[in-house]
Amino acid sequence: MAEPLRIALAGLGTVGAGVIRLLDTNGALLAARAGRELQVVAVSARDRGKDRGVDLARFAWEDDMTAMAARGDVDVVVELVGGSDGPALTLARNAIREGKGLVTANKAMIAHHGMELAAAAEAAGTALRFEAAVAGGVPVIKGLREGAAANAIERVYGILNGTCNYILSTMEDSGADFGETLAAAQQLGYAEADPTFDIEGVDAAHKLSILAGIAFGSAIDFAAVDCSGISRVRAQDIAQADALGFVVRLIGSADVDSTGAEPKLYQRVQPCLVHKDHPLAHVDGPTNAVVAEGNYVGRLLFQGAGAGDGPTASAVVADLIDIARGETGTPFSVPVAAMVAMDKAQSGHRTGRRYIRFTVTDRPGVLAEITAAMRDAGVSIESLIQQGRPEEGGEVLVAMVAHEGPESGVSEALRLLEGSPSLTAPPLVMPILGA
């Protein structure tokens, strides 16, 4: 058997400790599959004295994690610290510059600096792997880059954030509103103390931009992702969706718009109504699921645990096995030099049905004002429901489903209603994803 693959591990949180436990538990199996032992030789974290439930005395300790890459007894660096910049990025750059392989679960760093790191890794002839950065233990990156390599991917979309999916599916089951469900998720550890990145869709947008780069060979452009989260979804929206035969899910979706002279990249994260016959409608709890549509293979569904020590550690170690086997390859589906920088696609011409919810004052003439704006914008209303009638002067929710039509029509209707004293909050628009 070949010499061991010597690993420096930066970050000893839930995932870092999980990697050590996995290597300890499955060591013989991993060595047989990799053709060599996977051996941690050095570790680094902020708190040296913290009990992490694993034996760290057998490893060299580095107080400065950015110096780990310079160690002569290290072949590959695993970065599990997080953050798009700072020490994590310094370590990543150092590792590649030193000719070491790099494995990371850091979706923010790949979304912001993945092109730079991939170009450096290709030039150095070393490996850059980041399976754990998208969908935790679900092998969607390998599936797209390798398993579906014979296909032109026409669209990639899915549930990319387990926190949001847990909140929405719990609201669906319990009937509770958003704030109450978020608080419960925080107590259970499914949501961070500051959940902004999750609930406002930023985490999902990081992952979507990476998937788009792999699926379409496009230059990663996180800044071009249109992003809206779930904080404005109410229990009444969940109930209304259910009555219509849908569930609400936060969906990230990307495709290439080829309607113009030059292809453009469409990337959007937003809550959607998903038909109950669609596979994504049955994805509950803190689970991730990605759908890829290939021109020959058809619809592929990748589903599983999107976070946690075990699933994420599994993806990290799978990358280490590839490196141990000598499978360097390109980090994305094509070399960085061949990745195409695409302009952002506009969405106004995209057609579909949409759910639109208004929060309005309870007084005569409000419905007439809303329907007149829809009429003037050319939006055809399929159904309209006024939910409840509270005390005089209170708020009422008006929900409607618009017939198939361009997004620009709904945007124009909302523009006509801007500044109306009848509206007490900005309208919520959710596209409808069919079966």
Q: How many domains does the chain have?
A: 3
In a domain, 329, yes or no: no
Beta bridge partners of residue 39, listed in sequence order = 6
Choose the final residue of a domain: 133, 156, 181.
133
Choose the final residue of a domain: 113, 133, 153.
133
Residues 153 and 300 occupy one common structural domain? yes
CATH at residue 116: 3.40.50.720
Choose the final residue of a domain: 133, 163, 178.
133
What distance in Å separates the CA atoms of residue 229 and residue 233, rounded to the nearest whole number? 9
pLDDT at 154: 96
pLDDT at 386: 82
| Low-confidence spans in the chain with pLDDT less than 50 | 391-392
Residues 57-101 pLDDT 10s: 999 999 999 989 999 999 999 999 999 999 999 999 999 999 999
pLDDT at 35: 95
In a domain, 168, yes or no: yes
pLDDT at 435: 63
Q: Could you tell me the pTM of the whole model? A: 0.94
Residues 66 and 169 occupy one common structural domain? no
Residues 182 and 301 occupy one common structural domain? yes
pLDDT at 21: 96
pLDDT at 307: 80
Residues 102 and 193 occupy one common structural domain? no
Give how far the C-alpha of residue 89 lies from the chain's centroid of Cα atoms, to the nearest Å: 20
What distance in Å separates the CA atoms of residue 244 and residue 231, rounded to the nearest whole number? 22
Residue 81 in tokens: 């610290």
What distance in Å separates the CA atoms of residue 326 and residue 312, rounded to the nearest whole number? 22
Q: Which residue range is the domain that position 155 belongs to?
A: 140-305
pLDDT at 392: 47
Catalytic residues: 207
In a domain, 96, yes or no: yes
Q: Which of 72, 120, 64, 71 is closest to 92 using CA atoms?
A: 120
